[in-house]
Amino acid sequence: MRRLADLPLIVILIGIAALAMLVPVAHGVATGEERIARTFFYAATMTGMLAVLLSLATRRTGLRHPARAQLFSLLLAYLVLPLIFAVPFREAVQATSFLNAWFEMVSCLTTTGMTAYEDAGRLAPTLHLWRALVGWLGGLFTWVVALALLAPMNLGGFEVGATESAGQGAAVAGSVGFRPRESGARLVRAVGALGPVYLGLTGILWVCLILSGYSGTPALILAMSTLSTSGITGAGGLAAGGNPVLAEVAIAVFLVFALSRATFTGLGRPAQFRALRSDHELRLGLLIVFAVPAVLFLRHWLGAVGFGDEAEIPRALGALWGAFFTVLSFLTTTGFVSADWTDAQGWSGLSTPGILLAGLAVFGGGVGTTAGGVKLLRVWALYTQAAREMEKLVHPSSVGGSGQAARRLRREGAEIAWIFFMLFAMSLALVSAALALAGIDFENAMVLSVAALSTTGPLAQAGVESPVDMNSLGEPAKAILMAAMVLGRLETLALIALLNPDSWRN
């Protein structure tokens, strides 16, 4: 393991990619899809040889600036790995371009779930499993990187409550005497700590979905897509079989892990589990999840008084559940749509509440989770600062109190959160303008930009009255979306820290 930690991150990831390709090999052999299995076996062999050659070439390479090198490897991973993943996918599909295959793998690895293959029946079950597996690995990668790399550097949302400036955490500020092995060792420890939890939660949800009536492969695809918040589904989506209500209940329980990192980092520790009651992200997320469906529900219920519709209790409960599940799904940037969402739309009187779903996706989930978006902790910091300013308008001489951590959150934390929010808004404007120049109308350009930057790909289908036809997009538009998906997953602060002149000057 020490020798593994000494290797560059990108080399380790290429080796993992080679091992991951053996999963569709086994599935293809078991389901009689020999051609697909053979394609992935050849790709796994070639990728494995590449990983071995790179490991031999870089095993004695010392890292002068290991923190910056790992951050650069993080960017390199989202640029190189999709190309490797796309090779067997393109050969297995055959009737597609390499750009479409590359686009698909970028979308899966960044857990966006935006697909160029809207006709799910076009792909074999093994290829759907490969898409979900790439998304699942991307979710695990996000977990590990957040704990081992972004948290020590005060990036990825951790800068809101940190005492150091963004990008200037222990991994950078403490560079004196910093051994090159430490950064890689942190990644190995993070995999050992989070990998079993991630795998165990996926297995439990898989069993729950099988018990709800789904067959093995569709249940596994949904389980991996839920834990990674990628929103990837196979042929038929959530309605592929079984009881959709029971499946949605099981999925909703596991989507809670995307609201706050405290939900999975505290597993097995009762004291940490009790601290969930005071977790800002979880409380804010649950407030949104319960408040928004209640407003949609009461909007119709109050208008139905006097017309006799209030007696439709079963239909009302179905509409309420459809709104609850869909709101939770888009808040965690997963993008699953409930089977009762159509009733919820009719019940609320909003035929296509695209602005509502886009707003939920922009809010995003918890820091250090697989969810994208602005993140709930940043939203909470802005809220506490705004509440404090309103309080000072009424009582100018009042003292905020609540301790040093709370003061830090509503001062420096709110300032850096506001900076990130402005960077996100600027990125949204630039991506929308670029897509408009590529020939996409304003509404679709805005929805696609939000979907890419918040890593909520299904928003392109559920957030507009007429779903966006991804096949009609030109090559420039797809290239812009790929860059936006990588930017949305990495976040602008991480890229700024990578390009910081002070870091390169040391």
Q: What is the distance between the alpha carbons of residues 467 and 492, in angstroms, rounded to a whole number?
A: 28
Domain membership of residue 55 as a residue range: 2-264
Number of domain units in the chain: 1
Within-domain flag for 419: no
Within-domain flag for 71: yes
In angstroms, the Cα distances linking 376 to 60, 116, 383, 384, 453 are 42, 30, 10, 12, 15
- DSSP-derived letter for residue 119 is -
Higher pLDDT, 221 or 395: 221
Tell me the pTM.
0.89
466 exposed, middle or buried (CB, 10 Å; 0-12, 13-18, 19+)? exposed
Q: What is the distance between the alpha carbons of residues 335 and 311, in angstroms, rounded to a whole number?
A: 31
Q: If you average pLDDT over residues 472-478, what whole number do you get? A: 90
Q: What is the pLDDT of residues 440-454, one digit of tens each?
A: 988 899 999 999 999
306 has a pLDDT exceeding 60: no
Within-domain flag for 176: yes
Q: What is the pLDDT of residues 319-333, one digit of tens each?
A: 788 889 999 999 999
Query: What mean pLDDT value characterizes the chain?
Result: 82
Model pLDDT, residue 505: 47
Within-domain flag for 54: yes
Within-domain flag for 495: no
Q: If you average pLDDT over residues 273-280, what whole number do you get? A: 72
484 has a pLDDT exceeding 70: yes
Within-domain flag for 443: no
Within-domain flag for 399: no
Within-domain flag for 292: no
* Angle subtended at Cα 28 by Cα 23 and Cα 34, rounded to the nearest 5 degrees: 135
Q: What is the pLDDT of residues 145-159, one digit of tens each?
A: 888 888 887 777 787
User: With bands split at pLDDT 50, 70 and 90, how would you rate the model's confidence at 163?
Assistant: low
**244-255 and 216-228 helices, crossing angle to 10°:** 30
